[in-house]
Structure 1
Amino acid sequence: MPHPGAPFGPLDFQLVLLRRMADQQPGLVEDARHELGVPLAVMREANRRWQAMVRSPRSRGAAQRYRSVLGEPTATTRRKIGDLECDAFQWQVPLWPDLRFEVLTAPGGPVWNEWLVRAPGAAGPVLSSVEDLRPWSCTVDEVARAFAAVRPMEGSAPTRWQLAITPPDGRRCVADFTWGLLQEVRFPDEPPG
């Protein structure tokens, strides 16, 4: 468990990921927090410290902040997205052993994207219907590849994404992601209840 005044490290960062996910999946977050052996107050304090680091006028760039918190990446690759080349840095996240936290940077260092992705070589879920979309089971890119009719939408916060999906059965839905990990699927055309 993190100690007050200790350097902000990988465990603290996992608590930051969980804090943002708690809005949509409080039960899963509670289970994960217990698995980590961390009280709620410690999770809140980790989030407070992270926000202070992000908003500090003396803050390092985002890529350097991740290196200082998570250490050296476990994998670094050069990736081409359209006509642009970027660097992809990945770190292991013990809570999700089949996932990696990935940061994509533009030439010169600015961060373009930061989210959870499937670890290289790890088998992802089979996603053939909406019923396969269970919380914390898949990532944005896995859902986007699995369904032909997908439209990206703006998320409700910087670390959130949404995909509008029309699966083979025709029921339109919206998949909500936090830090790239599926949180919930909503059916806006269906009445609540």
Structure 2
Amino acid sequence: MPASSTPAAPFTPLDLQLVLLRRMADHNPELVADARRELGASLTDMREANKRWQAMVRSPRGRSAAARYRSVLGPPESTAARRVGDLDCEARRWPLPLWPELRFEVLAGPGGQVWNEWLVRAPGAPAPALRTVDDLAPWSCTVDEAARAFAPARPLEGTAPTRWGLAFTAPDAEDVRHEVVAEFTWGLLQRTRIDGA
């Protein structure tokens, strides 16, 4: 059978983890390289997983985003009704081996529409102690955890659909006139910088 006729291998939870890592590699290539090795995947594997994921997302005949996650990750570990503003949705969470203390959460609306997809702390897993900017190490916390620790934090628009930012004043900032900006990918902290310094 010609290679072009061979059905593609199923997209797996390992592949999805590589997709998450691919976007994180822009900020933390060393952490991503270590995680990729832990998964037993090559740089080529990561690029190929990302390429296949993008093709699935952009396919006009593709499944809804919510159905796509279920097909890749299986039934969610947990589901919960959630209200976001005036809208009702369902929070679906799955474990990912690379981050056992976190869960991949998808907020799904009616008709399988996905409103948000990111990593959150697993129920019962201890949250990190976040008191100073020095506590904000890459991959140490999620968006929600940083927002609570450094309230009032102001959300910032990300540079890509899977990126978010928070701006806040931390007690140990060198100059209180400057804000700390924390950047997140897939909900996980990637880096911080002092804005305007």
1:178 is the counterpart of 2:181: no
**Larger CA deviation: 138-147 vs 104-113:** 104-113
Q: TM-score, normalised by structure 1?
A: 0.93
Report 1:81-96 matches (<5 A). Answer: 81-96=84-99
Q: Which moved more, 1:157-166 or 1:104-113?
A: 104-113
Deviation, structure 1 residue 148: 1.6
- 8 Å Cα contact 1:74/1:92 also seen in 2: yes
Query: Which one has a bigger Cα radius of gyration?
Result: 2
1:189 and 2:193 aligned: no
**Paired residue for 2:4?**
none
Aligned with 2:71: secondary structure? helix
For the residues of structure 2 that align with 1:73 and 1:10, how far apart are their CA atoms?
Answer: 12
- 1:121-180 C-alpha deviation (Å, 9 max, x unpaired): 100101111111110010000001111231001000000000011112435211000000
Task: Indicate the RMSD between aligned Cα atoms, in angstroms.
Answer: 1.3
Equivalent residue of 2:195, what SS?
coil
Structure 2 match to 1:131:
134
Q: TM-score, normalised by structure 2?
A: 0.91
Structure 1 residue 81: Cα displacement: 2.7
Query: Is the partner of 1:149 in helix, strand or coil?
Result: coil
Equivalent of residue 15 in structure 1, options 5, 18, 30: 18
SS at match of 1:80: strand
Aligned residue in 2 for 1:38 = 41
Who is 2:9 aligned against? 6
Which runs of no fewer than 5 residues in structure 2 stay unpaired?
A: 1-6
Distance in 1 between the 2:92 and 2:18 partners? 20
Q: Which moved more, 1:106-115 or 1:46-55?
A: 106-115
Q: Secondary structure at the match of 2:170?
A: coil
Give 1:67-146 correspondences, 5 Å limit: 67-146=70-149
Distance 1:68 1:121 in 2: 27
Q: CA deviation at 1:115?
A: 0.3
Q: Secondary structure at the match of 2:80?
A: strand
The percent identity for this pair of structures is 68
Report deviation, 1:118: 0.3
Gapped regions of structure 1 (runs ≥ 5): none
Runs of 4 or more, structure 1, over 3 Å off, are none
**How many angstroms apart in 1 are the aligned matches of 2:59 and 2:70?**
17
The CA distance in 2 between the partners of 1:162 and 1:31, in whole Å, is: 25
Q: Choose 173-182 or 80-89, whichever is displaced more.
A: 80-89
The separation in 1 between residues aligned to 2:37 and 2:81, in whole angstroms, is 37
